[in-house]
C-alpha cells in the first residue's frame, strides 16, 4: 500500500492526505494535555476513510520528564469499549486477528511518536481508538483523547447507455464500478426482469494502480421489460453498493378491444348485442411511443385520437348496425388492426317448467315413484339448459338432457329446491321449483321415562324398550315418535280403550300406576300416504308381592345353606367311623 507523505499543519501538527484519491478526512489538529501530569498527546479528533482505502494518522505524545521511556517501551492502539489491540510496536501476537497486517504502529514509541497506518479499511474498523504505553515500571493510557474513525462507502457504479431501447433489437449495457485499490476489486452482479443473454466481466487498471471493475451484458429487450428496473450491484469485501435505471423500451402497438358489459377481448371476433341496447367498443393500445388510433366502418372514419385508447359508442342498436368495425393503431415502429363483427340477439328469457307456471312452484312425489321435470327457455342463440340442486355446488350440474330432469326411483334425498338454468354467451336466466317427497310413517320409536317432562331435558335418561316394568303407585311416561311427511297423527291404543293424542311426538302419561294400567299398548301413526304401528308391554309390579318374593328368596337361601352344612358334617362323621 502506497501512502502520500504528510505535511505539517499550523501549530506543528500533521494533516492527513488521501490515499489514491480515496481520502481520509481529519478534523482540525488539536493539542490534548494534562499539564499537571506532563502527559500530552497530539492527534486528530476524527478521520474518515473510504472502504478498502488506506490512511496514515500522525500522532505524537509526551511523558513527564521524571519518567523517561526505556528502550523496552511498547506502544499500543486499542479500540475503545473492547479489549481488542489493533496495533502494537512489539509483540505482534497480541494484535487482534481482525486488524493484523492492516493496522500498523509506524511511529518510534521511545521517541514519542505514536503514528499508525490503516490499509484496506473495513466497516468493522469504524469506532473510537485510544493510545497506551507500557514500560517496565511505567504504564499509562491516553484515554482522555480518543481518535474517532469512520469508514465511508465507495461511490455507486454507473450503467450505460441510458437511452432508448428497441424491442427485439439486441444491445450491450455496461456497468462500471468506481476505481478501487488493488486487493479490493469489486464483484459485479446484475438484477432485473430482463433476460441476460451474455455477460462479460473484466477489470481495467490505471497508472496509479487503481482497479476498475466492468461488466458488459447483452440483452434483447421486449415490451414486457418496459418501465422495469435494471440494477447493477458492486460488492467490495462483503459490502455492496448499487445503481439502478428504468428501461425505456420502444415497441410497436399492441391492441385489446373490449365491449362494455362483456368479459374478455374481442379483436377479430364477433359480438352479439341486445337489440335496443347501447354498447361501447373500447380499443386500448399499448405502445411506445404513443400511437395514432382510429375506429372505422368500411372506408368511413368514425372516431380517431392519439394516445392509449379510443371508444366507439353504439347507441340504440338495430339490425342495421350488424356490420364489421375496425380499429387501427400506428406508430413509428409499426401498426396493428382489429375488428369486431356486431350481431343482434338476446339473452334467454325466464325458463318455464312443464305443469308449473306459477312463481314458487311446488311439486310432490311419493317415495319410490318416478319424477320428471322438463325445462325450456326462449333465447337466441339457443340456450344450454341445466338442472342443479340449490345448496350444492352449482358447477356440478345434475344429469339432464335437453332440459329434462328424471328420477326413476324417488327417495327423500331427492327432496329440496331445484333450479333450471338457461345460459348462452350473452347471459343466463333461472327458475326454481320445490320438490317435496312424501312418505308414510316409519321408524316408530317408543321412549320410556319415570320423570315428567324428562323428554324435554337434553341430559335426561330415556330408554327405548319393547316392554317396561313399573312399581305400583309410581308414574309412567311413554312417548311415541314417528318419521313421516306430511307429519303423522299419532295415537295410543289399548285393548277396549282408545287414548288419542294427535301430535307428532305423542306422550302417554300414567301417574300412580295400578294393576289396571298394565297390559299391551300400541302406538298408531297415520298420514295421507300410509300408516305404521308399534307395541309395548307395560308390567305393573305389586309392592306386596315384591316384598313376599324377596323374603321367600332370603329364607330359601338360608335353608339351602343349613342343608349344605348338615350334608358336609354327615360325610365327615361317616369317614371318621370307617377309620
Within 8 A by CB and 6+ apart from 139, the residues are: 132, 133
402 vs 156: which has the higher pLDDT: 156
Task: Indicate the average pLDDT of the chain.
Answer: 82
Beta strands in 487-528 (DSSP E): 489-494, 497-503, 505-510, 519-526
Hunting for cell 509526551 — which residue is that? 62
520 vs 16: which has the higher pLDDT: 520
Best CA proximity match to 269, nearest among 334, 343, 330, 348: 343
The angle subtended at Cα 150 by Cα 147 and Cα 153, nearest 5°, is 165
Report the pLDDT value the prediction gives residue 30, as an integer from 0 to 100.
44
Report the pLDDT value the prediction gives residue 457, as an integer from 0 to 100.
47
In the predicted model, what is the mean pLDDT of residues 440-461?
69
Digit-coded pLDDT (tens) for 295-316: 998 888 988 899 889 999 988 8
Instruction: Work out the pLDDT band at 544, boundaries 50, 70, 90.
Output: low
Q: Rounded CA gap, 504 and 397, in Å? A: 36
Instruction: Work out the pLDDT band at 35, boundaries 50, 70, 90.
Output: very low
Instruction: Work out the pLDDT band at 546, boundaries 50, 70, 90.
Output: low
Same structural domain for residues 394 and 420?
A: yes
Grid coordinates representing 169?
A: 433489437
Same structural domain for residues 75 and 125?
A: yes
Report the pLDDT value the prediction gives residue 29, as an integer from 0 to 100.
45
Hunting for cell 429487450 — which residue is that? 221
Question: Phi/psi at 321 (nearest 5 deg)?
Answer: -85, 5
Same structural domain for residues 15 and 119?
A: yes
Best CA proximity match to 129, nearest among 43, 38, 61, 13: 43
Please check whether residue 549 lies inside any domain of the structure: no
Same structural domain for residues 12 and 103?
A: yes
Report the pLDDT value the prediction gives residue 79, as an integer from 0 to 100.
93
- Specify the 3-state DSSP secondary structure of 178: coil
| CA 378 to mean position of chain CA atoms | 45
Beta strands in 21-83 (DSSP E): 25-26, 29-34, 39-44, 46-50, 55-57, 60-62, 74-79
CATH classification of the domain holding 65: 2.60.40.10
Instruction: Work out the pLDDT band at 3, boundaries 50, 70, 90.
Output: very low
* Most confident by average pLDDT, 272-276, 484-488, 563-567: 484-488
pLDDT tops 90 at residue 380? no
Same structural domain for residues 306 and 368?
A: no
In the predicted model, what is the mean pLDDT of residues 69-85?
91
Which residues sit opposite 159 in a β-bridge?
175
Q: Are 293 and 285 in contact (CB under 8 A)?
A: yes
Report the pLDDT value the prediction gives residue 358, as an integer from 0 to 100.
60
The angle subtended at Cα 449 by Cα 445 and Cα 453, nearest 5°, is 100
pLDDT tops 60 at residue 563? yes
Same structural domain for residues 412 and 469?
A: no
Q: Rounded CA gap, 477 and 451, in Å? A: 7
Grid coordinates representing 142?
A: 491516553
Within 8 A by CB and 6+ apart from 53, the residues are: 18, 19, 20, 22, 23, 24, 120, 121, 181
Question: Phi/psi at 123 (nearest 5 deg)?
Answer: -55, -40
Please check whether residue 107 lies inside any domain of the structure: yes
pLDDT tops 90 at residue 506? no
Please check whether residue 559 lies inside any domain of the structure: no
Q: Are 97 and 63 in contact (CB under 8 A)?
A: no
* pTM higher than 0.85: no
Q: Rounded CA gap, 436 and 411, in Å? A: 10
Report the pLDDT value the prediction gives residue 409, as an integer from 0 to 100.
94
Report the pLDDT value the prediction gives residue 74, as an integer from 0 to 100.
93
In the predicted model, what is the mean pLDDT of residues 335-363?
82
In the predicted model, what is the mean pLDDT of residues 566-571?
82
The residue from 438, 464, 483 where one domain ends is 438
Same structural domain for residues 174 and 290?
A: no
Of the listed ranges 81-85, 492-496, 545-549, the least confidently predicted one is 545-549
pLDDT tops 90 at residue 334? yes
Q: Rounded CA gap, 444 and 535, in Å? A: 10
Instruction: Work out the pLDDT band at 397, boundaries 50, 70, 90.
Output: low
Report the pLDDT value the prediction gives residue 543, as an integer from 0 to 100.
72
In the predicted model, what is the mean pLDDT of residues 140-153?
91
Please check whether residue 320 lies inside any domain of the structure: yes
Report the pLDDT value the prediction gives residue 551, as an integer from 0 to 100.
62
HEC string for 557-579: HHHHHHHHHHHHHHHHHHHHHHC
Same structural domain for residues 318 and 431?
A: no
Q: Rounded CA gap, 568 and 173, in Å? A: 119
Report the pLDDT value the prediction gives residue 1, as an integer from 0 to 100.
37
Same structural domain for residues 357 and 487?
A: no
In the predicted model, what is the mean pLDDT of residues 101-125?
92
- Residues 398-412: b if buried by 16+ CB within 10 A, e if exposed: eebeebebebeebee
- Specify the 3-state DSSP secondary structure of 332: coil
Please check whether residue 552 lies inside any domain of the structure: no
Instruction: Work out the pLDDT band at 75, boundaries 50, 70, 90.
Output: very high
Q: Rounded CA gap, 548 and 553, in Å? A: 9
Question: Phi/psi at 570 (nearest 5 deg)?
Answer: -60, -45
The residue from 212, 230, 247 where one domain ends is 247
Please check whether residue 94 lies inside any domain of the structure: yes
Same structural domain for residues 510 and 526?
A: yes
In the predicted model, what is the mean pLDDT of residues 19-23?
33
The residue from 247, 280, 303 where one domain ends is 247
Give the number of domains in the chain. Answer: 5
Please check whether residue 551 lies inside any domain of the structure: no
- Specify the 3-state DSSP secondary structure of 46: strand
Instruction: Work out the pLDDT band at 453, boundaries 50, 70, 90.
Output: low
Report the pLDDT value the prediction gives residue 6, as an integer from 0 to 100.
35
Same structural domain for residues 267 and 308?
A: yes
Digit-coded pLDDT (tens) for 222-251: 989 999 999 999 988 777 889 999 999 999
Same structural domain for residues 163 and 206?
A: yes
List the domain range (segments joined by +) for residue 238. Answer: 158-247
pLDDT tops 50 at residue 7? no
- DSSP-derived secondary structure letter, 397: P
pLDDT tops 50 at residue 266? yes
Q: Rounded CA gap, 206 and 208, in Å? A: 5
Grid coordinates representing 362?
A: 311446488
How long, in residues, is the chain? 579
Report the pLDDT value the prediction gives residue 22, as an integer from 0 to 100.
34
Please check whether residue 568 lies inside any domain of the structure: no
**To 10 degrees, the CA torsion angle through 424, 428, 433, 435?**
60
The 10 Å Cβ neighbour count of residue 539 is 12
Residues above pLDDT 90, as percent of the chain? 36
Report the pLDDT value the prediction gives residue 496, as an integer from 0 to 100.
65
Q: Rounded CA gap, 304 and 571, in Å? A: 132
Residues above pLDDT 70, as percent of the chain? 84
Amino acid at each position: 500500500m502506497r501512502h502520500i507523505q504528510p505535511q505539517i499543519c499550523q501549530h506543528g501538527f500533521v494533516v492527513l492526505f488521501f490515499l489514491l484519491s480515496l481520502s481520509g478526512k481529519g478534523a482540525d489538529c488539536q493539542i490534548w494535555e494534562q499539564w499537571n501530569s506532563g502527559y500530552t498527546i497530539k492527534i486528530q479528533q476524527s478521520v474518515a476513510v473510504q472502504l478498502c482505502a488506506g490512511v496514515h494518522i500522525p500522532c505524537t505524545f509526551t511523558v513527564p520528564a521524571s519518567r523517561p521511556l526505556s528502550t523496552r517501551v511498547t506502544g499500543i492502539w486499542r479500540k475503545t469499549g473492547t479489549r481488542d489491540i489493533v496495533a502494537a510496536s512489539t509483540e505482534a501476537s497480541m494484535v487482534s486477528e481482525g486488524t493484523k497486517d492492516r493496522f500498523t504502529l509506524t511511529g518510534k514509541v521511545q521517541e514519542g511518536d505514536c503514528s499508525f497506518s490503516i490499509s484496506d479499511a473495513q466497516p468493522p474498523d469504524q469506532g473510537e481508538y485510544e493510545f497506551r504505553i507500557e514500560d517496565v515500571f511505567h504504564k499509562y493510557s491516553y484515554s482522555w483523547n480518543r481518535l474517532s474513525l469512520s469508514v465511508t462507502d465507495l461511490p455507486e457504479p454507473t450503467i450505460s447507455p441510458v437511452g432508448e431501447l428497441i424491442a427485439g433489437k439486441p444491445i450491450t449495457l455496461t456497468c462500471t464500478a468506481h476505481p478501487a485499490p488493488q486487493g479490493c476489486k469489486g464483484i459485479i452482479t446484475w438484477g432485473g426482469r430482463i433476460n441476460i443473454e451474455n455477460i462479460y466481466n473484466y477489470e481495467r487498471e490505471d497508472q496509479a494502480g487503481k482497479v476498475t471493475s466492468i461488466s458488459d451484458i447483452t440483452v434483447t429487450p421486449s415490451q414486457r421489460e418496459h418501465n422495469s428496473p435494471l440494477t447493477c450491484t458492486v460488492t467490495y469485501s462483503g459490502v455492496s453498493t448499487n445503481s439502478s435505471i428504468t428501461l425505456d423500451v420502444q415497441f410497436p402497438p399492441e391492441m385489446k378491444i373490449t365491449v362494455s358489459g362483456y368479459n374478455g377481448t374481442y379483436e377479430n371476433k364477433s359480438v352479439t348485442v341486445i337489440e335496443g341496447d347501447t354498447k361501447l367498443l373500447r380499443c386500448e393500445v399499448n405502445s411506445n411511443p404513443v400511437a395514432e388510433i382510429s375506429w372505422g366502418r368500411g372506408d368511413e372514419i368514425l372516431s380517431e385520437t392519439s394516445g392509449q385508447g379510443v371508444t366507439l359508442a353504439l347507441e340504440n342498436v338495430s339490425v342495421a348496425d350488424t356490420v364489421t368495425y375496425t380499429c387501427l393503431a400506428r406508430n413509428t415502429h409499426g401498426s396493428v388492426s382489429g375488428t369486431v363483427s356486431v350481431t343482434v340477439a338476446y339473452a334467454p328469457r325466464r325458463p318455464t317448467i312443464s305443469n308449473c307456471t306459477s312463481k314458487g312452484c311446488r311439486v310432490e312425489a311419493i317415495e319410490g315413484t318416478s319424477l320428471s321435470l322438463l325445462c325450456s327457455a326462449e333465447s337466441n342463440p339457443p340456450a344450454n339448459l341445466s338442472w342443479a340442486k340449490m345448496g350444492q355446488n352449482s358447477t356440478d350440474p345434475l344429469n339432464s338432457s335437453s332440459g329434462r330432469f328424471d328420477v326413476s326411483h324417488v327417495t327423500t334425498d331427492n327432496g329440496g329446491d331445484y333450479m333450471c338454468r338457461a345460459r348462452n354467451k350473452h347471459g343466463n336466466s333461472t327458475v326454481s321449483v320445490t320438490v317435496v317427497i312424501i312418505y308414510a310413517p316409519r321408524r316408530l320409536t317408543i321412549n320410556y321415562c319415570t320423570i315428567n317432562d324428562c323428554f324435554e331435558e337434553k341430559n335426561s335418561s330415556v330408554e327405548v324398550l319393547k316392554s317396561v316394568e313399573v312399581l305400583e303407585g309410581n308414574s309412567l311416561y311413554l312417548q311415541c315418535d314417528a318419521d313421516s311427511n306430511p307429519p303423522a297423527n299419532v295415537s295410543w291404543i289399548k285393548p277396549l280403550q282408545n287414548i288419542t293424542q294427535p301430535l307428532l311426538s305423542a306422550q302417554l302419561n300414567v301417574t300412580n300406576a295400578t294393576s289396571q294400567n298394565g297390559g299391551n299398548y300400541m302406538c298408531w301413526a297415520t298420514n295421507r300416504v300410509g300408516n305404521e304401528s308399534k307395541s309395548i308391554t307395560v308390567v305393573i309390579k305389586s309392592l306386596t308381592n315384591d316384598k313376599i318374593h324377596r323374603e321367600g328368596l332370603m329364607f330359601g337361601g338360608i335353608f339351602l345353606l343349613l342343608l349344605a352344612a348338615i350334608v358336609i358334617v354327615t360325610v365327615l362323621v361317616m369317614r371318621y367311623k370307617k377309620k
